[in-house]
Structures are given as C-alpha cells and as structure tokens.
Amino acid sequence: MNNKLIPFSAVALFAALGAGAAHAAAPADWGKVPSKKIILFYPGVSPIEWITKGTEHSGFKGMKKGERCLGCHEEELAEFGKKMVSGQKIEPNPPKGKPGGFPVNVQAAHDGTNMYLRFSWKNTGATGGSGDAENPIKLAFMLEDNKVEWAAAGGCWATCHQDARTMPGAADDKKTKYVAGGSLASGKFYDLVQWKSGKGAKPVDGYVAEKRVMEGGKALVDAKGELKGDTWTVTFTRKLTGGEGDVAVAAGKQYNFGFAIHDDSATGRFHHVSFGYTLGLDDAKAEVNVVKQ
C-alpha cells in the first residue's frame, strides 16, 4: 500500500440526511480534544464460549464477580497479540505478515447534537490479504446500553460466537455476529457503525441483535478516512440520538464501547480488536470522555 493521500466520505448519505446534517462540522481543532491511546490486538479464536469456559479461561471466575477483561489484561495486550497472531495460542490458521497489535489514538467530542469520534494509527504495512480486496481497511465501532450480558466485562465479545462463519468448524457459512437472546424490542443489542476504505464504499449504520444487520440506522451522519503519510485517520459524525437500532447517547450515563480494525483486506475474525471501554458525555470518569466543543 502506498502513502498517497486517499480521502473517502459518506457522501451518499447527503440526500437522505439533508444538507444541514451532511455538513455537520467536526471540531475545528482536534488538537484541543483529549486523546485516549487504546491498544488493539489480534484475538485469535477466542469467542464468548471460550471466554466463559472456566477450564479454558481462568479469568472467567473474575468475570462472574463483575471484573472486566481490561482490568486483568490491559498490560498484557501486546504479548497476547504476538502469541495469537503467530499461532502459539488459540489460532489454528495464523495470518501472515500481521502485527500482534498496535496503538490507536481515540478522540471524542460533541456539540450537543452530534458526536464526533476520531481514530488515528500508523499504517501496519501488512500485505498479502485477499478476503476483501475492494476494502483494504475497515474500521467499526459498537455502542451498547448496559443490557447485554458480558458487554460491560468484554465489550464487543458478546457478539462473537463459535458458530460464526469464519470460525474453525463453523457449519453455516452465512452466520455472522449475534447476541444470545438479543432483540431490539428488549434493548439487548449493539449499535454498529463501520467505515470502509474502498472507493465509493458506503459506510454501515446497523446493529447486532439476534443477527447482524448492516443497514437501517438513522444516527450516522458522515464517515470519512484518509491515509496521509504513514498515518490513517478515520472520523465519524453521529447524531446523539437516532432510530431503531441506534443507541441514544445522553449525558449522565456511561455506555459500553469497543472497536475493531480490519487491515490487509481482512474479513471475518481476522481483525484487531479492543477490549471494552466506557464512553460518556462530559464524563471525566468515562474511559472515552466525549467532551463538549
């Protein structure tokens, strides 16, 4: 991949959302918005069924007591990723050329109407992937409103299951992420937003409940990204409120937040992921504080 400046934008949303929404302005000076460094790591084959099996994962004892994955493993993420991406641990098909992990700077701001999330990281330089040749890079984040079991402990892990299509031994090649017992009616779902690097690719505004739905959300206003020099930057503009399948983000609450990056044209589980973090508006106690600008 070269270092040419490559801009991509969700211009296709313009007509649907109206000129005012499509031109919602992100903070004029991101340098004044606090940055949170979050380590993404390669997770190997570690679905929620593995996480919650005490004979395989000793940390499940702590999870049952309310402990979070991040609390036990934050200092070990780089080592975790190296072991799994190399096939030393829970990875029967190690990908070639991928790093075990890398840091991503996350910034979050709002203006009372829209939330702006900005992710920046050094290009990994991984090559050789072919699963999604049209989109060498994808970035997705999920929000959850404290109703899904294990979301507070492990972030997006509650959507990752052993029977998903790219898992070893999966019988159904169409089955994707889902929440056990999930439904929009019960509020047990994750809000899902994804940006894709392919020319003309439309961003995703959907959700994960009893199945993954990659459309229908009303909160996403814009998603754009670029590679400038050796650094990728992806910025989302999202309304604080939306419609069905959108988590309404309000002051005074904390939400479960996690994200993933597919580099090297990767698909399915061959991505780098974060653990679960808390996100809140003007909340200094939240791990991702969405500050007023």
Average pLDDT estimate for 176-191: 97
Structure-block tokens of residue 122: 């050094």
Backbone angles phi, psi at 94, to 5 degrees: -60, 130
* Number of other CB atoms surrounding residue 231 within 10 Å: 13
Strands 220-228 and 254-262: unpaired
Rounded Cα distance, 33 and 197, in Å: 25
For range 38-50, the mean pLDDT: 96
**pLDDT greater than 90 at residue 71:** no
- pLDDT surpassing 80 at residue 19: no
Poorest-pLDDT segment among 7-21, 43-57, 276-290? 7-21
State in Å, rounded, how far the first CA of the chain is from the last one: 35
Distance CA 118, CA 9 (A): 14
pLDDT at 8 over 60: no
Are the C-beta atoms of 129 and 95 separated by less than 8 Å?
yes
- 292 pLDDT more than 60: yes
Exposure pattern of 2-21 as b/e (b: 16+ CB <10 Å)? Answer: eeeebebbbeebeeebeeeb
Mean pLDDT of the chain: 90
Q: Report helix, strand or coil for 194.
A: strand
Mention every residue, 6+ apart, whose C-beta is less than 8 A from residue 64. none
Mean pLDDT of 207-224: 98
For residue 291, which of 140, 143, 116, 120 has the smallest C-alpha distance? Answer: 116
Mean pLDDT over 266-283 rounds to 96
Helical ranges in 101-202 per DSSP H? 151-154
Give the pLDDT of residue 24: 56
Structure confidence at residue 161 (pLDDT): 97
Banded model confidence at residue 61, pLDDT cuts 50, 70, 90: confident
pLDDT at 11 over 80: no
CATH 2.60.40.1190 assigned to 8-22+34-288: yes
**28: pLDDT confidence band, cut at 50, 70 and 90?**
confident
The three-class DSSP label of residue 95 is: coil
Calpha distance 190→243 (Å, rounded):
13
pLDDT at 4 over 50: no
Q: What is the pLDDT of residue 169?
A: 93
User: What average pLDDT does range 205-211 have in this prediction?
Assistant: 98
Look at 67-76, 81-90, 156-165, 240-249 and tell me which has the smallest mean pLDDT.
67-76
- Residue count of the chain: 293
- Give me the residue label for tokens 């899904």: 148
What are the pLDDT digits (tens) for 102-123?
A: 999 999 999 999 999 999 999 9
Domain residue ranges in the chain? 8-22+34-288
* Bridge pairing between strands 114-122 and 101-110: antiparallel
Q: Please tell me the predicted confidence (pLDDT) of residue 78.
A: 82
**pLDDT band for position 7 (cuts 50, 70, 90):** very low
Who wins on pLDDT, 4 or 133? 133
Alpha-carbon distance 100 to 84, whole Å?
Answer: 7
Q: What is the torsional sign of CA 160, 164, 169, 171?
A: positive
Dihedral of CA atoms 121, 125, 131, 136 in degrees, nearest 10, equals 50
